[in-house]
Chains A and B, each alone.
Chain A
Amino acid sequence: MSFDLFPPLGDIKPRALIAPDKTVNRIAIALGAYIAFVLYPAYGLLRLYWTGDTSAFDFSGVSTAAITSILFAVFARRTMMRYFNVGAMAD
């Protein structure tokens, strides 16, 4: 393949991109944890500060956040694996 639009490689030395399953798993867990331990509590605290409403920390709210974070971690892992695990077939 030769096409003038492509930038010259010059001294750039391409190397294989390594994406270990273990790293992807950890990232997926971290993303789920970010929902459960950062985003949702921040929402709850903002509501508490502004309105005095504590309903975000009720069982239903906390369990919704927990289920959402688990489902999201699964979805994130699946999506990232799809991009990193390239297999042998052309797209």
Chain B
Amino acid sequence: MTALLESSSDWLAEYYVYIKFVHMVFAAMWAWSTVVGYSNFLVPIFRDWQRNPDDMDKARLRNWAMERFDDGAVLEHIAFPMLIFTGPLLMLAGGWTPDSGWFAMKLVLVALLFLPIELTDIYLAHMGGNKKWLRETGQPEAYERTLHLHWWFLVVSTPIVAISITFTFYLAIVKPF
């Protein structure tokens, strides 16, 4: 096993900068592809609806925005698996191990923070929590409940991702410890 990893590492080392390029492109896509839609559309529309929860027009606008956001998160959710794929390749090609503090911290953040957040987000946006699917399959109560859950999830994860994604870029680029 060790020999296999070493030979893979030697072979991949030649392609280190290319793997890094792909990894960085998808890291940028993952980190920021939903920011404009979230900050400038979803948040103001939801805050407006929260002020007027009985206004049916605002509720329809809310539903439209969330359904569009479900679709808009596709780029993020393509990018994340690509990061999970290229990350270990980069690790092998660069010879990175938890000997480096920054790398150990990054591994912990990916495994214990980003992975659970992204799996939840993928479920809420594209699988059982997809709002368009819930509406079209005639599940109005599940639609409303899931929409509330999704909004809670987005609000709670906002401070987490704002700090942790920035910190992860800092770790990967500056390698401070």
Contact = CB atoms under 8 A, between A and B. Distances in A.
| A and B interact physically | yes
Interface of A: 1-2, 5-17, 19, 27, 31, 38-39, 42-43, 46-47, 49-51, 72, 75-76, 79-80, 83-84, 86-88, 90-91
Contacts of B51: 86-88
Nearest to B156: A27
Q: Give the dominant DSSP class at B's interface.
A: helix
B156 to A, nearest CB: 6
Residue of A8, A17, A19, A47 contacting most chain B CB atoms (<10 Å) = A17
Interface string B127-147: 000001001001011011000
Given A14-B144, A17-B53, A88-B51, A6 B104 contact: no
B63 A12 contact: yes
A83 B104 contact: no
B160 interface: yes
Given A12-B143, A17-B50, A72-B159, A42 B98 contact: no
B56 interface: yes
B43 interface: yes
B47 to A, nearest CB: 5
Interface of B: 43-44, 46-51, 53-54, 56-64, 67, 97-99, 101, 104-105, 107-109, 111-113, 132, 135, 138, 140-141, 143-144, 148, 151-152, 155-156, 158-160, 162-163
A6 B160 CA distance: 31
A72 B43 CA distance: 22
A49 B159 CA distance: 31
Contacts of B58: 1
Given A12-B144, A50-B97, 15 more contacts: A5-B64, A6-B63, A7-B135, A8-B60, A9-B59, A12-B63, A14-B62, A39-B108, A50-B99, A51-B98, A76-B156, A80-B158, A83-B43, A83-B46, A86-B51
